[in-house]
Amino acid sequence: MREIARLPKAHLHVHLESTIRPDTLREIAAANGIEPPGPAPERFAGFRAFADRGARVRACLRRPEDFARIAREFAADEAADGTRYAEVTFSAAAHGERLGDARMPLEAVLSGLAHGSAAHGLHTRLILDHSRRRPVQRARRTLDLALEHPEHVAAIGMAGEESHPLAPFAEVLAQAARAGVHIVHHAGEAGGADAVAEALDTGAVRIGHGIGVLGDAAVVERVRAQGVALEVCCSSNVALGFAPSLQEHPLPRLREAGLSVTLNTDVPDVARTSLTGEYERVRAAFGCSDTEMAAFARTAVAASFAPAQLKRGMEADIDAWLAGGPA
């Protein structure tokens, strides 16, 4: 079998605050006089426990140098893992509101990504997310930030507990679509096919997670017909209790349904994996061939918001990896 670390990969669903190196989190927390959370448990007692831990991680970040450092180290770690292109999710407006400086967190992250990407040959763009539980006003600020950085922000989207509907955000999302900002929602993680349909109704061109889509054949057909890719995060789904085990994950059934499936980490500190590690886990759990692993990589490149020239280069390099024989 060929070495997955050498497979050119696009990472489409990963939250920046969940990629922080443990030593970095401790050092940043100490510098800011904050007690950091301990390691994530192997399983969480519900989504709220997971979200509360994430809030404690975010609370450690206060200074521009904190945000720039985690972005710079993200780029280094992704490049070392064989990622060529990453769309990293960041809660920019929430951090700005928390710290009383609307622009600083995003500008610091962009600076860190620029330095890290240049140093390590990684291409990056941002997806700015907004919790469904939070006010529409903050969602508008998220869109404003995206519009201020069109070259660097690829999309905005709604995240968080799917029991909170998307309807209150319809006008913000419509404004984003009119402005040419891509929309990528989390949906069908804890929720079912109705949540995926709701995401499509509000303009989503990709779906974060989407595993709940299999509950309704009509929605499956809609996703397939529209060519909407799913950002599947198997290890994260298991850690958060949305799949009983990796071997019982619905990934094979999503592929059998003819859906475009990509592999991602979502929350690496919780899932305890890198993107290469996730590919390797999927290969081991489902007996995927190198041809199938290359197909996952190609699907992610095609579904990404990367420039066309970069896509062509990555597709050629994936072909070369597959043609090169066992590593």
Give the H/E segment covering residue 184.
strand 182-187
Give the H/E segment covering residue 269.
helix 268-271
Amino acid sitting at position 155: A
Q: According to the model, what pLDDT value does residue 325 have?
A: 62
Q: According to the model, what pLDDT value does residue 3 have?
A: 96
- Mean pLDDT score, 87-100: 98
Structure tokens at 174: 């419509």
**Which residues on neighbouring strands pair with residue 209, listed in sequence order?**
187
Q: According to the model, what pLDDT value does residue 1 have?
A: 85
**0.85 exceeded by the pTM?**
yes
Q: According to the model, what pLDDT value does residue 297 have?
A: 98
pLDDT tens for 198-214 read: 999 999 999 999 999 99
Residue 327: pLDDT band (50, 70, 90) is very low
Find the Cα–Cα–Cα–Cα dihedral 300, 305, 307, 313, rounded to 10°. 0
| Residues acting as catalytic residues | 189
CB neighbourhood size of 39 (10 A): 10
| Nearest by Cα to 10 from 232, 226, 275 | 275
